[in-house]
Amino acid sequence: MDTDKWFSKLLEDPGNDLVRKAMDEGQIPIGYSCSYVPDVMLSVDGLFPVRMRAPGVAGTELADNYLSSVICSYTRSLLEFGLDGRYDFLQGWVFAASCDHLRRLYDNLEYLRRPGFSRILDVPHKTGKAAIDWYTEELQLLAKSLTDHFGCNLGAAALTKAIREHNAFNAILKAIGEHRRSDHPSITGTEYHRLVIAAGASPKKTLIPILEKIREDLPTRAPLPPYRARLLFVGGHLDDPGYIGIIESEGGLVVGDRLCTGSYPGLQPIPETGDPVAALAKYYLTKTSCPRMMEAFNERAEDIVSLAREYRADGVVIQIMKFCDTWGVEAASFFSHIREAGIPVLRLERDYRLGGEGQLRTRIQAFIESMGK
């Protein structure tokens, strides 16, 4: 089996074959859209999470009727898919009020296309004790509403089990990603990103055997052909591996990432002891490291510099979605911070849908050339 093709196929449709199969077996898919949503809580007792994407979206004619012109194209594309019925298979969704755009998505979906179960989490903008306590309570309410609606068991034992399985799964993904650190990596950033996105788009358990096989095979896989530069790829939501594919086709191998939909900060282990809801609240609130947080500005920028050094990246590419206020503002300070650290950096703006390929290629090629590579 050509695993790369198989994973590509999985990403073509939000309700992919694995999702349909799990549904046929009686499992319940719940959509979510942001890293602040504790997907672990949607992986308990017959539920499974589906990170919402809009693969292949061609236009947003329906959504444009409801959203203002300054709403980002990710939000717009999700609403489009919601309105034209491509998310009808979901039996519920959980959003996070992480930015105003996603709040508008929730409002509109709630009004226009509400599924059986719908909830939005109130996410504090700080990570101190009071905020964690608040978020713990918010997650307790989520657990209660899931239990009330679906009759599933979200007790402490069930949640602890789900955390353990989540950590075990992420450990496999992380181990695969570690191969990118090598001087001669045997996995591209594109292939790796495809695995990570597939993990969010499918019932995780079904992917374990194939991911285990990839992990086993990687040490003996031939190194990739020569490339021109090692890059760290930074940004918020990006679920199209094709974008990284274009960068890599110009000779910039993506050896590390800091993406909401990537390996860092998302694949760190969650504590498996103590009160699971409190552990989840603390983990998701403090580890997500989103520019929406009104603190730790320097730490977030420094994190990127440290990652670039850790992965021995020759340069950093920051990509932001147009009209994303949170990333748009903070990317400017990231840019100067990274440059002051002596690391070449390129900032790219993009739409959710991959377009303008020629210009993207020119920018990447010129960036690599300007590094003298």
Partner 1 sequence: MLKKYFGGCDVGSTTGKAVILDENGKMIAGSIIPSEIDPEITARKALEKACTSAPGVGDTENLSYLIGTGYGRNEVPFANENISEISCHAMGAFWCDPSIKTIVDIGGQDMKAIAVADDGSVREFAMNDKCAAGTGRFFEAMSRIFRMDLDEFSKLSLSARKTIPVTSQCSVFAETEVISLLAKRNPPADIAAGIQNAVGKRCFTLLKRVGLKPRLTVTGGCAKNPGLLMELKRLFQIDIVPLTVDPQLIGALGAAILASGKGSLR
- Interface residues with partner 1 (CB under 8 A) are 349, 355-356, 358-359, 361-363, 365-366, 369-370, 372
Distance CA 340, CA 31 (A): 40
Phi and psi at 147, nearest 5°, equal -65, -45
Instruction: Output the smallest distance, CB 331 to partner 1, in A.
Output: 13
Which CB, 59 or 355, lies closer to partner 1? Answer: 355
Q: How far is CA 336 from CA 19, 310, 366, in A?
A: 43, 19, 19
Instruction: Give me the least distance between CB of 67 and partner 1, in Å please.
Output: 20
Residue number with CB closer to partner 1 (140 or 365): 365
Of 344, 323, 354, 126, the C-alpha closest to 249 is 354
Q: Position of tokens 């799964």?
A: 169
* Minimum distance from residue 349 beta carbon to partner 1 (Å): 7
d(CA 68, CA 323): 11
Q: For residues 219 and 358, which CB has a smaller minimum distance to partner 1 in the complex?
A: 358
Give the Cα separation of 9 and 16 in Å (integer).
8
For residue 235, list its beta bridge partners: 319
CB of residue 348 vs partner 1: minimum separation in angstroms? 10
Q: Which is nearer to partner 1, 142 or 360 (CB)?
A: 360
The region that residue 239 occupies, defined by phi over 0 for left and psi between -120 and 50 for alpha, beta otherwise, is: alpha
**Residue among 306 and 370 whose Cβ is closer to partner 1:** 370
Kindly state the smallest distance separating residue 346's Cβ from partner 1, in Å.
9
Closer to partner 1 by CB, 61 or 357: give it.
Answer: 357
Q: How far is the CB of 369 from partner 1 (least distance, A)?
A: 5
Task: Output the smallest distance, CB 347 to partner 1, in A.
Answer: 9
Q: Give strand pairing partners of 229.
A: 252
| Number of neighbours of residue 348 by Cβ within 10 angstroms | 17
Question: Least distance in Å: CB of 61 to partner 1?
Answer: 18
Q: Which residues are CB-contacts of 351 (< 8 A; sequence separation ≥ 6)?
A: 73, 321, 322
Residues in CB range of 22: below 8 A, 6 or more apart:
29, 48, 203, 206
User: Which of 149, 361 has the CB closer to partner 1?
Assistant: 361
For the chain, the 3-state helix, strand and coil shares in percent, each to the nearest 5, are 50, 15, 35
Minimum CB distance to partner 1 smaller for 260 or for 368:
368
